[in-house]
Chain A
């Protein structure tokens, strides 16, 4: 959520600048206001700022929003969601809790080392870890399905650590 609120502040500042540019610059007698602090709310946001809501817009489609993050990466031989991806999982849980009609498939992946079927089972462990985290955050069982692609659909090709790390991943796919 932190990312989202700082984005909102940047947005209001940008709108403020846009508003300023329409004032007459040659009016030298106009009193100069110290805007900082004046009329501002306790959290520093401008109470006169207006942020646009597009009817029908979905935070899911905001390319800058946290919900645009759909991949959870895992360490080698690890099947637990790392702390750095908590906020992503929480954001999706919150969205799914407020959009009960939406469903997601969690697609688990592995790097290309080892057997097809065993890797499919390991990919499932990564998908299941994310599924469980969502359910613990209140998402209904009916809204989430964990499946595995194993090593069959690698995002990164290649046999180096960078490619392997990219493929140790669960993706959240909205249906």
Chain B
């Protein structure tokens, strides 16, 4: 069965990619009982530590018929839930379909507050009919029922959607397992902008270059990524449609063009340009038209980020000496200083609810991830690592992904916004950096 599950993990995408992903280790492995498979093609590895303040005990029964699908759905669902840190998976060897009678009392006695069951059936047209139900074993009620007609290559996505549904029904917060991440890898002289599922699986290469790629940023609709490419021997901003591969040159002014950040409407971007001297913040339309200068200092203003409500642009400025975070109306006017602790605060990112500022602060020589509660000014250090960069909120606001270093190699880490749950995505070959977490998609 272990062997089967590994074979099943090789998706149609997987056959094309030069490196596969290593599956779960650490806590997740213990919980799941999944054997770490051959690392021959492995590149990224997830490690998890810490658990949520309280864990919801949930049982996932095997879905009859899933062995016949390209991937074992419940393995993916269980891995997602375990990685989130907010569930305790109740071990079981049951196989229950969506039509099975549920013995609520039995599952309650086994310690499960919730139970997921389902089935997988191959349809005549090659698709798979995936059905799933979620039950509350305490109240003896059904919480959810979904069915999917899934193309074979979308089985993984279907599994993530089931995990999202379980997460949302049991926590009240939308799940992020079906969202995607983008990041930059470097191996030898090759830089790649890659897109993967939030669990690091299903890697697809969006851009290959022999020059650096930095600051990728997902469009609000999830279909495009803006980034900075050095392919022209200088930093230039592009937007790339991930499906059509169409690239739009957004900013290639004299000097450096960098730090693209989408406005919530997806029509404009805030960018950092040096066309008028040192780095300053500008707003530009996504087609490269309508350039307008937003900040006006004799020093550095960079790393703009729109607040989710679009009312502010946060940015890094050295106007007071060292870099600090400020905010300004996208229509211009006076900027207000936001960070005061420490002498080096950079890379502002605002949580989806607008209440938390994540940023990188240098204190005692360490560059670490901090969160500032914008409602009460409370500051919290979220990371134990020391070369942190490029934070990015999950679209449900519960996690922050950031770049750090592990064994002198660039790696990615994820921490829950309460600092309790920590995950690490490490590479075996090359560096991985500059992560950006994609939005919810329909």
Contact = CB atoms under 8 A, between A and B. Distances in A.
Contacts of A125: 278, 300
A148 B344 CA distance: 21
Interface stretch (A38-46, A62-70, A91-99, A109-117): A109-117
Given A124-B279, A128-B278, A149-B230, A117 B255 contact: no
A114 B255 contact: no
B303 interface: yes
- The binding surface of chain A is classed by DSSP as mixed
A114 B363 CA distance: 12
Given A120-B279, A121-B272, A145-B254, A115 B230 contact: no
B347 A115 contact: yes
B362 interface: yes
B274 A117 contact: no
B343 to A, nearest CB: 12
A128 B316 CA distance: 19
A175 to B, nearest CB: 9
B438 to A, nearest CB: 19
B316 A118 contact: yes
B277 A152 contact: no
Given A147-B234, A152-B230, A118 B367 contact: no
B272 A117 contact: yes
A137 interface: no
Interface residues of A, number: 23
Nearest to B232: A147
A89 interface: no
A130 B151 CA distance: 58
Given A116-B214, A116-B390, A121-B302, A105 B233 contact: yes
A122 interface: yes
Interface string A138-149: 000000011111
A153 B189 CA distance: 11
Contacts of B254: 145
A128 B300 CA distance: 12
A121 B278 CA distance: 7
Nearest to A112: B387
Contacts of A124: 255-256, 274, 278-279, 300
B302 A146 contact: no
Contacts of B212: 149, 152-153
Given A122-B300, A147-B234, A153-B212, A117 B258 contact: yes
A148 B233 contact: no
Nearest to A147: B234
Nearest to B389: A115
Contacts of B279: 120-121, 124
A105 B323 CA distance: 27
Q: State the 4 A-B residue pairs at the shortest beta-carbon distance, nearest first.
A: A121-B279, A152-B212, A147-B234, A121-B300
Given A121-B272, A124-B278, 16 more contacts: A114-B344, A115-B316, A116-B215, A117-B302, A117-B316, A118-B302, A118-B303, A118-B316, A118-B323, A118-B347, A120-B258, A120-B259, A128-B278, A147-B234, A148-B235, A152-B212
Interface of A: 105, 107, 113-118, 120-122, 124-125, 128, 145-150, 152-153, 173
11 contacts: A115-B346, A116-B215, A118-B302, A118-B347, A120-B259, A124-B278, A124-B279, A124-B300, A149-B212, A149-B235, A152-B230
